[in-house]
A and B are shown apart, each in its own frame.
Chain A
């Protein structure tokens, strides 16, 4: 189990020796430094040890990189998709199983570890990146160095590939609410595994009373020709569910309401009752909205109005006699099938008795 430790001066040196695309991409991200407060201390501090240790970094690098994030606070989410580095566009789609795994591995972390990291697996397509699986990777982190067990990560990836060969390494995740200098180093590791990896943070320390989930991709920034810093630009995070996943999550969510966080699987009619209660809630919300609009409290919105009209029109108008016949024939079918099932069961029970004689 090799745990390679990384010298802190490595990353700032490599972007300086990066080939021609570096200056081109440096100019593109410069006008979109939206997350100014959080990531900018990171590159500034990573270039500090570089200034101390590396020989190629000019001392004038630090003030030169400082004005770059301080430029126009244009929103990074508007405008056309950025050309170049990020392969899938700007949307990351997460499945809930990823987040549950991350939280679970955070709960099982070693003594003294402040956060856990791991690899994200999934697929890339034209418009977005879909993360479907993940596994945690043991690592050690201290003030001045970080060690990640890359052998382990490779092995786990091989094992996972046997089950789902379509999954690629997309990036990595970390718990905790901020991006630290070590994140830059770990991100460097992962850039060797995947082209332009994503970094996902899950805030398990619940700052601001929320568990914020954010995704970033790294972009180079700074003055071209000099030592480049690394900046993390945020991406939109969306949650996708398979249908069955949605149903599973709805069920698991019920543990939030029970006192000891335990629920049992409900029986058939209870489920129908539960689903109807949900629809009732939805209907009462819609009714409340309609009342508010009528009494003038809320201004009417045409789109919502159109939806409401299509909703009301969807209730089919059936002649009562036809409905009676349909209902009765359906009920007869179901009753007959129930009778047959009961008959079959008693038949095989009889068979047992006879055979055992």
Chain B
């Protein structure tokens, strides 16, 4: 599993968002109704996120940043963003809250929207359903009703198509998190399944007219892209890695029953020994209290298995998308080859 160093960083970010949002009012229209039906992103934000990952995030560490924008009716508009420095060990005195406050204050001077509406994170092959993400998103959503987390998948993007998804916590999960009660009973009462933890919000990209002019200008001046990664047939590496991660998760889910197995094995060995002793005429061994040998079997934390199930679900979705694309490409290659013959 990829190492995650973003725990303290994101919790600092979320605590500062509470203070930040309390001081400034929300954008127009965002009061009682918490549903966000659509997320509208500026082209500039997409480019900035891509650039941030490219420069900072080589390897399996996640890169994070803050999204700025405003809320218009049931749409969340994201108009700018800035990256968050990675949490390094030697920066004990690095104050992330202060960094954020200063950045937002400075951006306000140049008329950039300074309302905190969410955060973004990069992901490694789609593994982002973790407790840390849940906690961060919960504190964001608690402070700002409409906040989302944007998950950017750079490896999938490098394969040819931009992979950017926006997620929010469902209201049911928000309720449970508010109670801070993650016991199995509470979760059963809330009727939460892994499919109902995160809801995906559709994204649209919008550009202003002037940016469109810029795009035309760039189109004229830059060389044609010479890499058509999307149509490449040699992508089994990606599939292999995703499957490996899926297997790891499934193993994790099963690990909780290991103790049960060990108990069984011990019992069986005891029985065998007793039979042997009987056949030799010795008194059988006293029946030991099994519960003293094995500590009482804890039921696995319900939340953890929910998260793992959610992660497995995401992996499966990714795999299915991937295979659909590849099947299409293979059939195209077949048609071309038949034409040749």
User: Which residues of A are at the interface with B, using a C-beta cutoff of 8 A?
Assistant: 1, 95-97, 99-101, 103-110, 116, 132-133, 135-138, 149, 152, 155-156, 159, 162-164, 204, 206, 210-211, 213, 239, 241-253, 255-256, 261-266, 268-269, 271-272, 275-276, 278-279, 282, 315, 318, 320, 323, 327, 330-331, 333-335, 337-338, 341-342, 344-345, 348-349, 351-352, 355-356
Contacts and interface: CB of A to CB of B under 8 A. Distances in A.
Contacts of A348: 194, 253, 309, 312-313
Interface stretch (B50-58, B135-143, B168-176): B50-58
Contacts of A204: 210
B241 interface: no
A2 B50 CA distance: 35
B205 A265 contact: yes
Q: Closest 4 CB pairs between A and B?
A: A252-B43, A341-B316, A97-B47, A108-B111
Contacts of B184: 355
Given A104-B44, A132-B55, A252-B205, A271 B221 contact: no
Contact of A251 (B51, B162, B329): B162
Given A242-B51, A341-B316, A159 B102 contact: yes
B83 interface: yes
B214 A211 contact: yes
A36 to B, nearest CB: 24
Contact of B207 (A155, A255, A282): A255
A341 B231 contact: no
A313 to B, nearest CB: 14
A247 B228 CA distance: 10
12 contacts: A103-B211, A104-B208, A107-B210, A132-B55, A159-B106, A242-B51, A248-B157, A262-B40, A268-B325, A272-B332, A320-B337, A355-B184
- Interface SS of B by simple majority: helix
A100 B337 contact: no
A99 B228 CA distance: 24
Nearest to A133: B51
Contacts, number: 244
B205 A206 contact: no
A252 B53 CA distance: 18
A136 B43 CA distance: 18
A146 B229 CA distance: 49
Contacts of A276: 231, 332
B7 interface: no
Contacts of B111: 105, 108-110
A3 to B, nearest CB: 11
Interface in B286-341: 302, 305, 309, 312-313, 315-316, 319-330, 332-334, 337, 340-341
B112 A108 contact: yes
A347 to B, nearest CB: 9
Nearest to B219: A253
A353 to B, nearest CB: 9
B14 interface: no
Contacts of B276: none
Contact of A334 (B80, B209, B327): B327
Interface string B198-214: 00001111111111111
Given A100-B214, A275-B228, A352-B309, 16 more contacts: A155-B106, A213-B217, A247-B161, A248-B157, A253-B215, A255-B206, A255-B215, A261-B209, A264-B202, A264-B204, A265-B204, A320-B341, A344-B312, A348-B312, A351-B309, A355-B302
B227 interface: yes
A268 B217 contact: no
Given A247-B157, A247-B161, A271-B160, A261 B212 contact: yes
Contacts of B158: 243-244, 247
B244 interface: no
Contacts of A116: 110
A243 B319 contact: no
A269 B328 contact: yes
B188 interface: yes
Nearest to A260: B206
A327 B334 contact: yes
B207 A252 contact: yes
A24 to B, nearest CB: 35
B217 A210 contact: yes
A330 B326 CA distance: 9
Contact of B208 (A107, A247, A263, A275): A107
B313 A241 contact: no
B154 interface: yes
A96 B215 CA distance: 9
A255 B48 contact: no
B186 interface: no
Given A247-B161, A337-B243, A338-B323, A163 B205 contact: no
B103 interface: yes
Contacts of B193: 349, 352, 356
B230 interface: yes
B72 interface: no
B1 interface: no
B72 to A, nearest CB: 13
Contacts of A247: 157-158, 160-162, 229
A81 B321 CA distance: 51
Contact of B44 (A101, A318, A320, A344): A101
B46 interface: yes
B6 interface: no
A97 B44 contact: yes
Given A106-B210, A107-B210, A272-B231, A248 B44 contact: no
Given A244-B157, A272-B231, A341-B319, A262 B204 contact: yes
A327 B332 CA distance: 11
Contacts of A351: 309
A135 B231 CA distance: 37
Given A243-B158, A266-B161, A320-B341, A96 B46 contact: no
Contacts of A250: 225
A135 B191 CA distance: 48
B129 interface: no
Nearest to B310: A348
B12 interface: no
Contacts of B208: 103-104, 107, 261
